[in-house]
Chain A
Amino acid sequence: MSLFEKPAHVLHDMLQKKEISSVELTKDVLARIDAVEPQVGAYLTLTRDAALAQAEAADKKIAAGEDVAFLEGIPGAIKDNICTKGVKTTCASKILDNFVPPYDATVMTKVKAESPVLLGKTNLDEFAMGGSTENSAYHVTHNPWNTKCVPGGSSGGSAAAVASGTAIWALGTDTGGSIRQPASFCGVVGLKPTYGRVSRYGIVAYASSLDQVGPLARDVTDAANVLNVISGLDEMDSTSSPSPVPDFTKALREDVKGLKIGLPKEYFTDGMDPEVEKAVKDAIEQYRSMGAEIVEISLPHTKYAISTYYLIAPAEAATNLQRYDGVSYGARVDGADLVEMMTNTRTEKFGEEVKRRIMIGNYALSAGYYDAYYLKALKVRTLIQQDYTEAFQKVDVIMCPTAPTPAYEIGSMISDPLQMYLQDICTVPLNLAGLPGISLPCGRSSKGMPIGLQIIGKALDEETILRAAYTYEQSQNYHNEMAKLGGEQA
C-alpha cells in the first residue's frame, strides 16, 4: 500500500513514530498527482514548491521532538472558494481569475496552526453553484471511479482529490449538499457541521445563511480529526456558535445499541435509484443488527425543500455576488461609463449558472415578487425546521441516501437546470434547518459507482452522527478501497 492511499490518522502515527518523513509522504502524493491529475482534474492551483517547503519545515519540527499536531506534515487540499492569503482564490470563476486574498479565512488560520502541507486549491462549480463541478469556468473534474462521470459538486475537486489519492484530506463547503453529495459520488466521507460550528469568515459567500465548511476525508476518523481542527467560535463571524467544542475523536466508538434511527418516508419515494435505495436499506438493516432501533418518521415539508432552497440561496447569492463589479478587485471589462463597465464585466465574466441564479434571486427579491417568493420561502423554511425539531424528539439520528442516484455521466444533466436542482432533494433540507450531516460509503452500484449513506444529527450534535458513522464504517470495508485509475489493476 502506497503512502498516498493511507488515511491521515495512520500517516500521523507513522510521522510521530518517525517511520516516514513528511517530505517522503509529500513526494509520494505529488507523484500521484503527476500520475492521475491529468485524468481527474481535481485542482485549479497546485503549490508544489510551497508544499515541499512546508513538508521540510514539518520534518524539522518533528525531529526537534515537538508535539505533532494531527495535520502536521500531512498533505491536504483546499476548495478554491476558501480565502488563502497570498494564494490565488478564484471560486472557479473568471471574475476572480487573478484574485489573491490579502488575508486568510479563519479555517485557514486554524489549519495552518497545525503545520500541514498544503498542495493547492481544488476545483468547484463556479461560486459553489452546482452539483457536478461542470460549472467551473476552468475545467471539468472527473470522477476517479469512472472518469466519464461527474465527481459531484460543488466540492467536486476536493472529493475527487481525496478519492484519487492526490490529497490525504481536503476542505470543502456545503450550502445545499456540496460536501456530502460529492463525497457520496466519489466514495469518501464528507461532513457538513452544524451551521455556526465552523467559522465562515473567509469563505467566499454563496448563501450566507446556509454555507458551512467541512472536511472531505478517507474515513470517519479523519473527518472527526479535521473537524476538531476547524471548529469553534470566531469573533470575526457573528453567526459562529459559542457552544463549547467537544473532542470529536471521543465519539469514535463502535456503539449503536439503543440508538434510535429515524427513516423519513418522504426520502424514499419517486426518482430514487433502486440500487441506491437498496444499499441504504441494507445499511439500515446492518444498524438494526448491531442493536439500533429503527423508527419510521415523517418530515412532511420535504417536498417543498427544493423550492425553498432555490429561492433563498439565489436571493442571498444575488446580493452576495453584487460586489463583483470590476471596481476594486477581480476582473474588469472596460466600458464607456461605470454602469457599462460593471455590466460588461459581470456579463462576460460570470458563467451561465451563476447568472441564472443571480437573476432568479433578484426576481424573488424585486418589488412585487418579494412576498410571494422570498418571504414565502423564509416561512416555509420555518416549517421545514419544525419538521426536524419534532422528529428529533423521537429519534437520535435520521438516515437517508445522500443523493438519489450514483454519479451520472458528464454532460447528461447540464442542459436542464431544474432537473439538476431536483437532485438535491436529500441534502438541502439540512442546510435549511442548519443541521449537521455526514455522508459515508454504503455500497456500489452495478456499474461500480459509490453510493452514500447520509446521517443527519441534531444541531451541535456532530458526536452522535460521527459515532453512528464510525460504527457502520468499521463493520464494512469501503474505507479501505480506493478508486483505480488509468488502467490500474484492482
Chain B
Amino acid sequence: MNYEAVIGLEIHCELKTKTKIFCGCATGFGADQNTHVCPVCLGLPGVLPTINKRVVEFAIKAGLATNCEINKYSKFDRKNYYYPDLPKNWQTSQYDLPICEHGWVDIDTSEGKKRVRLTRIHMEEDAGKLVHSGTTIKDSISSDVDYNRTGVPLLEIVSEPDMHTAEEARVYMEKIKAIMEYIDVSNCRMEEGNLRADVNVSIRPEGSDQLGTRTEMKNINSFKSLEDAINYEIERQTEVLEDGGHVVQETRTFDPARGITLSMRSKENAHDYRYMPEPDLPPIITSDETIEKYRSELPELPDARRARYEKDYGLSDYDAGIITSTRAMAEYYDAVVATGADPKLAANWIMGDLSKNLNEEAIDITKSPVDAKRLGDMILLIMKDTISGKIAKKVFKEMWTNPEAPEKIVKDKGLVQITDTSAIEPAVDAAIAANPKAVEEYKGGKKKALGALVGQVMKATKGKANPQMVNKMLVEKLK
C-alpha cells in the first residue's frame, strides 16, 4: 500500500527584543550563567510579571505578515508542568485566546506552489537551560540550571497539518524564517536556538481523508534535522503499519548524529497542563487603529517583493523567488541594482558566482567580501564593454580577496577589453592565415567553423578582445 504523510509544525521563534517578555532583564545570548536574572524571572515568592510592549507589537506584526486575523481580545494563561528550567513550574503562554489566528503562507516546492495554513501564533516565555553532568541526561547524576534564557520572548507559530513531505516542511520553515527576518522580529539564528520546531508526523493510506496516529519530535533546530527526522519517521511508521502494527501517539527525540528518532517514555497524566487564565496580567485589547499602525510599519514582504522583481525587472518567477528568499539577499540585490547595474545581470551574478563563493566559505551575504556596490560597479564595466563576461569572472575572483574598486583591478591587471579594431585586426588576420581548414569549412557553409576562429583570436589576445567585435570582423573578412 502507498502511504501519504501528514505533517504539521510548531515553530518557536525567539524575538529580538532588548528585554525579556515579563521583566526588564536583558535577553543577550552567551552571557555567564545566571547573570541575566532578577526576582521576576527567577520566580521568587511575591513577584509579578509585566508585559513587554514590544513583544505584543512583534506578535501582531508576525500575524499580519502571515495573513492572520488579529484577535481583538487576547490573554495570557498559565500552562502548568514541573520542570527545573521553569522556575514557577508553569509557563506563561496563551491558550484559548491567542493574539493571532487563521493565517497562511505560500511556499514553493519542487512540485509547484502550495499554501500552508497557520492555526495560530501565540506569545510565551522561553525556559532556562539545564546542563547535565554526564554526556546525556540519562547518565547524569545531577544537572545544573541556568535561568538566563528563562523569560526570553517566544512566538509559537502553529501550522495546520498541511504538509506531506519533508521538503514541504523544510520549505515552509524556510519561508517562516524569511518572513520573521523581513519584519525584523527575530535574529532567526538556528545555531543559537532562535528558531526551532516541534514537528508532528502521521501517515495514512493514500487517498484517505482520515488522520493517522501522530508522533511528535521536539526542538528540531536545523533544516537538515527537520528533513531527516520527518523522512526517518515516515519510514518507521510505514514499516510499523506494514508489519500490521499500530503507531503509538508519543513524543520522540531526534538524534541528529544517527539520523533516527527514539521513543521517550511518557508518564500517565504528566501532561494535564491545567491551563488557567493568568490573573496577574490584564488582557490585551487591540484596536483597529493599532493593527493598522503596525501594518503600515511592515516592510515589503517576500511575496510582494518577488512580484515586483518579476514585474519591474523582468526576472523569472524562479529567480525572483531565490533572490527574495532572505531579506538580506533581497537587500543586497536592491543595492546592486541601485548602482545602475542591469537587474537581470545582477540576479545572475548573485545567484551564480556570489552565492557559490559564499556557500563554499560559509559566509553570510551581509559579510560578503564583495559588497553590493562593488558588484554593481563590476556589472557596469560589463555593460560598458570595458570587460567581457568571461573576463568579469576573473575580475570577480580577484575582487574576492582584493578590496580595490573593480575598475582599478581591471586596470592594474590589464584586463580591459580591446575594442580598438586596429589592435584586433592582426590577430584576426593571423587566425585566418593559420587555419585554412576552418576557413574552408566556413566558406563551404559550415557556420559553426567560425567559432574555432573566434577562439583563436581570443586566445591570442588573452581573452581581452571584445568577442562580438572579433566575430563581426571575421565575418567581414571571410565574405
Q: Which of A's residues lie within 8 Å of B, judged by CB?
A: 82-83, 89, 91, 96, 99, 101-103, 105, 200-205, 208-209, 235-239, 315-316, 318-319, 322-323, 325, 327-329, 338-339, 342, 362, 365-367, 370, 374
State whether A322 touches B51 (Cβ < 8 A): no
Cβ–Cβ contact A374 & B276, under 8 A: yes
Q: Is the CB of A338 within 8 A of B48?
A: no
B287: interface (CB < 8 Å): no
- In this assembly, does B99 line the interface, its C-beta being within 8 Å of a C-beta of chain A? no
Decide: A338 and B84 in contact? CB cutoff 8 A. Answer: yes
In the complex, chain B residues whose CB is within 8 Å of the CB of A202: 46-47
B50 touches A319 (CB 8 A): no
Whether A205 contacts B46 by the Cβ 8 Å rule is yes
B279 to chain A, nearest CB (A): 4
Contact A319 to B48, CB < 8 A, known contacts A102-B39, A327-B87, A328-B145:
no
B276 pairs with A238, CB closer than 8 A: no
Jot down 27 A-B pairs with beta carbons below 8 A, ordered by A.
A82-B46, A101-B39, A101-B45, A101-B46, A103-B39, A105-B46, A200-B48, A208-B279, A209-B279, A236-B48, A238-B48, A238-B49, A238-B281, A238-B282, A239-B48, A239-B280, A239-B282, A319-B78, A319-B88, A323-B45, A325-B82, A329-B44, A329-B45, A339-B82, A365-B276, A367-B274, A374-B276
B42 at the interface (CB under 8 A from A): yes
Task: Tell me if A327 and B145 are in contact (CB < 8 A).
Answer: yes
Q: Smallest CB–CB gap between B83 and chain A, Å?
A: 9
Give B442 Cβ to nearest chain A Cβ, in Å: 85
Contacts A328-B42, A365-B276, A374-B276 given; indicate if A342 touches B87 (C-beta within 8 A). Answer: no
A99–B46 Cα distance when bound, in Å, is 12
Chain A positions within 8 Å of B274 at CB level: 318-319, 362, 365-367, 370
The reply to whether A201 and B276 contact each other, CB–CB distance below 8 Å, is: no
Q: How large is the interface on B (under 10, 10 to 19, 20 to 34, 35 or more residues)?
A: 20 to 34
Kindly list chain A residues whose C-beta atoms are within 8 Å of the C-beta of B44: 83, 101-103, 329
Task: Answer whether residue B272 sits at the interface, using C-beta atoms and an 8 A cutoff.
Answer: yes
CB distance from B39 to the nearest CB of A (A): 5
Residue B389 lies at the interface, judged by CB distance under 8 Å to chain A: no
Interface residues of B in 9-58 (CB under 8 A from A): 39, 42-51
User: Smallest CB–CB gap between B424 and chain A, Å?
Assistant: 78
Q: Which residues of A contact B80 (CB under 8 A)?
A: 319, 322, 365
CA distance A365 to B90 in the complex (A): 14
Closest to B78 in A: A319
Give the chain B neighbours of A328 by CB distance below 8 A. 42-43, 87, 145, 147
Interface residues of B in 41-95 (CB under 8 A from A): 42-51, 78, 80, 82, 84, 87-90
A237 to B49, CA, bound (A): 7
Tell me the complex Cα distance, A87–B276, Å: 33
CB <8 Å contact, B45 and A237: no
Contact B45 A201 (CB under 8 A): no
User: B residues within 8 A CB of A204?
Assistant: 45-46
**Docked complex Cα distance between A366 and B82 (Å):** 15
A286–B437 CA distance with the chains assembled, in angstroms: 132
Cβ of B280: which chain A residues have Cβ within 8 Å of it? 205, 208, 237-239
Most central of A237, A239, A323 by chain B CB within 10 Å? A323
CA distance A249 to B325 in the complex (A): 66
For the complex, what is the distance from the CA of A204 to the CA of B307, rounded to whole Å?
A: 56
Assess A325 versus B49: contact at CB under 8 Å? Given A209-B279, A367-B272.
no
| 10 nearest CB pairs, A to B | A322-B89, A209-B279, A365-B274, A208-B279, A204-B45, A202-B46, A83-B46, A204-B46, A323-B88, A103-B39
Cα distance A374–B277 in the bound complex, in angstroms: 11
Nearest CB in chain A to that of B141: its residue = A337
Interface 1/0s, chain B 255-276, versus A by CB < 8 A? 0000000000000000010101
Most buried by A among B47, B51, B82, B89: B47
Residues of B within 8 A of A237 (CB): 48, 280
A91-B89 CB under 8 A given contacts A208-B280, A316-B279, A319-B274: no
Chain A residue nearest to B79 in the complex (CB): A319
The answer on a CB contact under 8 Å between B282 and A91 is no
Residues of chain A lying within 8 A (CB to CB) of residue B282: 238-239
A236 is contacted by which of B43, B50, B281 (Cβ under 8 Å)? B50
Identify A201's interface contact among B43, B46, B51, B87, CB under 8 A: B46
How many whole Å from A59's CB to the nearest CB in chain B? Answer: 32
A323 & B43 in contact (Cβ 8 Å cutoff): yes
Contacts of B90 in A (CB 8 A): 319, 322
15 additional A-B residue pairs with CB within 8 Å, beyond A208-B280, A322-B80, A370-B274: A99-B45, A101-B39, A201-B46, A205-B45, A237-B48, A238-B281, A319-B80, A319-B276, A322-B88, A323-B89, A327-B145, A328-B145, A329-B42, A329-B44, A365-B276
Q: Which residues in A have their C-beta under 8 angstroms from that of B147?
A: 328
Expressed in whole angstroms, the Cα–Cα distance for A362 and B89 within the complex equals 14
Say yes or no: A327 contacts B84, CB within 8 Å.
Answer: yes
Complex CA gap A102/B279 in Å reads 24
Asked, given contacts A208-B280, A365-B276, whether A325 binds B89 with beta carbons under 8 Å apart, the answer is: yes
Closest CB-CB distance, A317 to chain B, in whole Å? 11
Please, which residue of chain B has its CB at the minimum distance from the CB of A83?
A: B46
Residues A91 and B45 in contact in the complex (CB < 8 Å), given A238-B281, A322-B80, A327-B87: yes
- In the complex the two chains form, is B48's CB within 8 Å of A89's CB? no
Q: Which of B45, B87, B143 contacts A83 (CB under 8 A)?
A: B45
Least Cβ–Cβ distance between B23 and chain A, in angstroms: 9
Q: Are the CB atoms of A366 and B281 closer together than 8 Å?
A: no
Query: Which A residues touch B49, using CB under 8 A?
Result: 238
Report the Cα distance A366→B271, complex, angstroms.
Answer: 10
Please give me the residue from chain B that is nearest to A96 by CB atom: B45
Chain B residue with minimal CB distance to A363?
Answer: B274
Query: Do residues A238 and B50 form an inter-chain contact, with CB atoms below 8 A?
Result: yes
Contact B82 A235 (CB under 8 A): no
- Shortest B178–chain A CB gap in Å is 34
From 138 to 159 in chain B, residues with beta carbon under 8 angstroms from any chain A beta carbon are 143, 145, 147
- With both chains docked as a complex, state the minimum distance between the C-beta of B114 and any C-beta of chain A, in angstroms: 36
Nearest-CB distance from B141 to chain A (Å)? 10
Q: Give per-residue flags for B425-440: 1 if the beta carbon is below 8 A from chain A beta carbons, else 0.
A: 0000000000000000
Contact of B87 among A89, A96, A323, A374 (CB under 8 A): A323
Cβ of A101: which chain B residues have Cβ within 8 Å of it? Answer: 39, 44-46
Nearest-Cβ distance from residue A249 to partner chain B, whole angstroms: 29
| Residues in B neighbouring A105, C-beta threshold 8 A | 46
Give Cα A202–Cα B39 distance, bound, in whole angstroms: 10
The residue on A at minimum CB distance from B281 is A238
- In the complex formed, the residue of B with least CB distance to A338 is B84
B39, B78, B280, B281 pick with most chain A CB within 10 angstroms: B280
Q: How far is the CA of A255 from the CA of B431 in the complex (A)?
A: 120
CA distance in complex: A362, B71 (Å): 29
B residues in contact with A99, CB < 8 Å: 45
Interface code B82-122, partner A: CB below 8 Å = 1, 0 otherwise?
10100111100000000000000000000000000000000
Instruction: List A contacts of B48 (CB < 8 A).
Output: 200-201, 236-239
Instruction: For A330, give the chain B residue with the smallest CB separation.
Output: B45
Closest to A89 in B: B45
A325 to B100 CA separation, bound complex (whole angstroms): 34
Q: Smallest CB-CB separation from B81: which chain A residue?
A: A322
Complex formed: what's the CA distance from A316 to B49 in Å? 15
> Which of B48, B145, B282 neighbours the largest number of chain A CB atoms within 10 Å of its CB?
B48
Complex Cα–Cα for A82 and B45 (A) = 9
CB distance from B77 to the nearest CB of A (A): 10
Residues of B close to A205: CB separation below 8 A = 45-46, 280
Chain A residues near B87 (CB-CB < 8 A): 323, 327-328
